[in-house]
Amino acid sequence: MRCIFIFTLAMAFLFNPVSQGAETSRRQRLVFLNGSCPVLVSMAVEVEGKGFQERWEAFINHVFTTLDGNKDGVLSGKELARIPPPSTLFNSGAAFFTPLTAGPNQSAADANKDGKVTREELARYYESQGGAAFGLSFGEERANRGIVILSTGGRSIPTTEMNQRLFRLLDTDKDGKLSRKELAAAPVLLKNLDADDDEVLTPQEVMGEAANDGGYPVAPQIVGSSTSQEGNPFVHVPHKGEAKEMVDRLLRTYGGPQAKTLTRQQLGLDEARFKQLDTNKDGVLDRMELARFGQGPPDLELKVKVGKNEGIELVAVRTHPGAQASQVSKKANGKILFQLGFTEFELGQGQPGGGLTFAKVNVADVYKMQFTQADEDNNGYLDTKEAQKSGIFRGAFAQMDRDGDGKLFLKEVLTYLSEIEELQKKAGDACITLSVSEQGNGLFEMLDSNGDAHLGLRELRQAVGLLDKLDHDRDNYIRWNEIPRRYQANLERGPAGIGGGAVGVVAVATVDMFNQRRTSGETPRGPRWFHKMDRNRDGDVSRREFIGTPELFRKIDTDGDGLISLAEAEKADAEQRKKK
């Protein structure tokens, strides 16, 4: 059975026939990197009656025309200096407070290095920097916008990345599956990865990225955008040109970091589909053959309409005969649920700005204050020497100094901000983003039975129990594709970076949140001595934590597992009270 599953929002199958050009302007193909096999996804989106690509082209035309002052069809000289950096154009608000550098933008946009930037070069430049008609956003990069976060340090780790790490650590014989013996050896991880020697593992320790929690708060940080899509289960199939990113992701996902070719078994494809791609008949797919993976007839087609007031409606679904889609259903809330083997994802519409509340900042007021501070001689303008001393004006001086007289007046600054704000609004209107987040429990969460975001020795000893939960084919092994995954995918208006005309602020405090959480609230069950000795708060007292004699420890540890549990502590405490 084929493992090609394609969403095509191609207008050809819909109710009104359209030209090939109009169809292309509505359609975007993606590959969904499912656990058992890659899934081809082709989406077409209609925005206020027009294809999303058509709206993007109109936006690029507007930007180019605005910059091309002499109307000679290219950007050169002073016009090059005015090219808005992608960090400003597609990440409204936040980028205003980072130093802007015009030079690298000019160089990057001028692909053939002839000193001129054409309209096509400008479009390719913005697309390569995260601004595109159809963008992808994944996980914490988008979820953190405007949210104040308290963290014990380190980054937030996507579930898939943690699953991959734990699977590789437990798979000691590297055969691509976890045996009962390997799962039973999970406690060895505690000895090898416990960086602070507290007998519990944090997510950062499992990843080999242990944070230094010194207890000192860190100043609030401005969140910039991230174009990294490594954890995203979706990857673009380009409309034209080489499919390098798609091929790289296929190789890494199904063959490992060093893979240069993939077999049919690795990809999980049916024989007919594999033979179609294997043009040289050598039994493996090389980069050139994998690049053609994104082509072919669709298995599932959808039609999506995006309204004027951020409304997004999924209006049509059609599956093709032979497609391997376990279940496709439309829910009462309008979302569509796809179940592919042990993976499921829900596709729906996102709210403007991801449904988050932004910290509103008056950008003009900030720049006025910065201008006053930078104007050291109080003559009402900034010269190049003064601008160079200011991180906020240094890179943007040439962009703001529209008359090129080497003097930057406040009026020019405010005019620049107003023009950029208008361009940002147009950029948001010209872009559609598929925002993907991972939901549900991964291997770490399944092991973390008490939900404290730490793995203790007892929890690691119970890893063998995962076999009963995840061994769906009952072959006494857990394979990678048997680990369940759940994704939420929302279509949103706006670029993949920070949107909404506001600044995303993240305040990071490296206080010991773990101990605060465990010691606050109601009085815990059990003897006081048990909780005082349980210094790592994992719910057990180890021999190292126990301050009594070895003989007394063995007496309380009635099951002889090397840990005093709460039940054992309560039993010992009750017996001691009876003697009094």
* DSSP secondary structure, 270-308, as one string: -HHHHHHH-TT-SSSB-HHHHGGGG-S--SEEEEEEE-T
Look at residue 447 and tell me whether its pLDDT is greater than 80: yes
Inside any domain, residue 548: yes
Model confidence over 342-365: pLDDT tens digits?
Answer: 788 788 776 544 444 444 557 788
Inside any domain, residue 300: no
Domain boundary among 482, 512, 533: 482
Look at residue 295 and tell me whether its pLDDT is greater than 50: yes
Inside any domain, residue 217: no
List the Cα angle 111/112/117 in 5-degree steps: 65
CATH number (domain holding residue 547)? 1.10.238
Mean pLDDT of all residues in 76-91: 81
Mean pLDDT of all residues in 244-268: 91
Inside any domain, residue 262: no
Domain boundary among 431, 457, 482: 482
Instruction: Enumerate residues 6+ apart whose C-beta is below 8 A from 319.
Output: 299, 300, 301, 325, 328
Mean pLDDT of all residues in 86-94: 67
Inside any domain, residue 38: no
Q: Give the range with max mean pLDDT: 101-115, 320-334, 423-437.
A: 423-437
For the four alpha carbons of 201, 203, 206 and 212, in that order, the dihedral sign comes to negative
Instruction: Give the 3-state secondary structure of residue 427.
Output: helix
Least confident of 87-101, 241-255, 294-308, 550-564: 87-101
Terminal C-alpha separation, the chain: 72
Model confidence over 23-65: pLDDT tens digits?
Answer: 567 888 888 888 778 888 878 788 888 889 999 999 999 999 9
Look at residue 399 and tell me whether its pLDDT is greater than 50: yes
Instruction: State the residue range of the domain holding 563.
Output: 522-579
Widest Cα–Cα separation across the chain: 99
Least confident of 233-237, 315-319, 376-380, 466-470: 315-319
Inside any domain, residue 531: yes
Inside any domain, residue 268: no
pLDDT the model gives residue 533: 95
Least confident of 138-142, 309-313, 525-529: 138-142
Q: Give the range with max mean pLDDT: 10-19, 253-262, 488-497.
A: 253-262
For tokens 């910039």, what's the residue? 224
Inside any domain, residue 252: no
Band of pLDDT at residue 505, cut at 50, 70 and 90: very low
In whole angstroms, give the CA distance from residue 339 to residue 39: 12
pLDDT the model gives residue 357: 42
Look at residue 13 and tell me whether its pLDDT is greater than 50: no
Mean pLDDT of all residues in 314-342: 64
Angle of helix 119-128 versus helix 52-67 axis, rounded to 10: 120
177: its two tokens: 């599956």
Model confidence over 60-69: pLDDT tens digits?
Answer: 999 999 999 8
Least confident of 30-39, 88-97, 114-123, 545-554: 88-97
At residue 40, φ and ψ (nearest 5 deg) are -85, 125
Give pairs for 479-484: CB < 8 Å, separation 24+. Answer: 479/176, 479/177, 479/178, 480/35, 480/167, 480/176, 480/177, 481/35, 481/36, 481/268, 481/341, 481/342, 482/35, 482/342, 483/35, 483/163, 483/167, 483/342, 483/442, 483/443, 484/342, 484/343, 484/440
Domain boundary among 453, 482, 511: 482
Model confidence over 515-532: pLDDT tens digits?
Answer: 433 444 556 789 999 999
How many structural domains compose the chain? 2
pLDDT the model gives residue 212: 45
